Amino acid sequence: AQRVTQPEKLLSVFKGAPVELKCNYSYSGSPELFWYVQYSRQRLQLLLRHISRESIKGFTADLNKGETSFHLKKPFAQEEDSAMYYCALGSPYGNKLVFGAGTILRVKS
Amino acid sequence: EADIYQTPRYLVIGTGKKITLECSQTMGHDKMYWYQQDPGMELHLIHYSYGVNSTEKGDLSSESTVSRIRTEHFPLTLESARPSHTSQYLCASSALTPGEHSYNEQFFGPGTRLTVL
């Protein structure tokens, strides 16, 4: 069964500190992983996807198939990064996404 | 402009009322989804559709029903609202076949915040 685990409900860091939001998944096939972000009073939006290997707003995420992880990282947190972050897993058939429980990131000044 | 629209954005209603939450998209997508976002902010898939006349139940059991008569429209109906239905409801869509975007990549509407008194 497909499953996504985000072990931290809340992550609080100071501005300028490194950030790592953890995501582990369970899937036997070739997964497609995403990070979605929801800023306060805004809609849920795609932040990045593993297949494009891009950096968005300074965030990167590397798919580690050996550890079944897709952690989201940023070297220097900014206050505007404060938001809810969801890790999501899709199958090659694209029927639906499985979302993790989400992690609230709070960046303190 | 390609977008996903949800109306109303906020709804406060009494117990027992019938309500319909509207979702429409101009993304040109075939697949559409309804999620319930609870106070802890977890997302739960409650319904999805691959296209016209296709509807499936999601992972979370819901008393709501959906219909898909037109590709761009995917309304959700509660026949008799109860306080336990109080939640945020998110509509999303994705492409049926990969192109500019992966068919796993979902685009979300702004949500409807429902409060049942």
Write down the pLDDT at residue A1: 77
If you average pLDDT over every residue of chain B, what do you get? 92
Mutate one of A33, A36, A99 to test the B interface: name it (highest B CB count within 10 A).
A99
Which residues are CB-neighbours of B5 under 8 A, at least 6 positions away? B22, B23, B24, B25, B26, B109, B110
B44 forms beta bridges with B36
Lowest mean pLDDT across A41-50, B2-11, B95-104: B95-104
- A31 band by pLDDT with thresholds 50, 70 and 90: confident
A96/B58 CB distance under 8 A: yes
Write down the pLDDT at residue B84: 93
Write down the pLDDT at residue A50: 83
Size of interface A-B (CB pairs under 8 A): 49
Note down the domain range covering A16.
3-108
pLDDT at residue B100 greater than cutoff 70:
no
Mutate one of B29, B42, B43 to test the A interface: name it (highest A CB count within 10 A).
B43
Distances (CA, A) of A54 to A23, A87, B28: 18, 16, 25
Note down the domain range covering B56.
4-116
CATH number at residue B77: 2.60.40.10
If you average pLDDT over residues A89-97, what whole number do you get? 77
User: Which residue from B45, B48, B110 is facing A43, i.e. has the nearest CB?
Assistant: B110
* Pairwise pLDDT comparison (B114 vs B104), residue with the higher score: B114
CATH number at residue A42: 2.60.40.10
Write down the pLDDT at residue A14: 98
B108/A45 CB distance under 8 A: yes
Write down the pLDDT at residue B62: 86
How many structural domains comprise chain A? 1
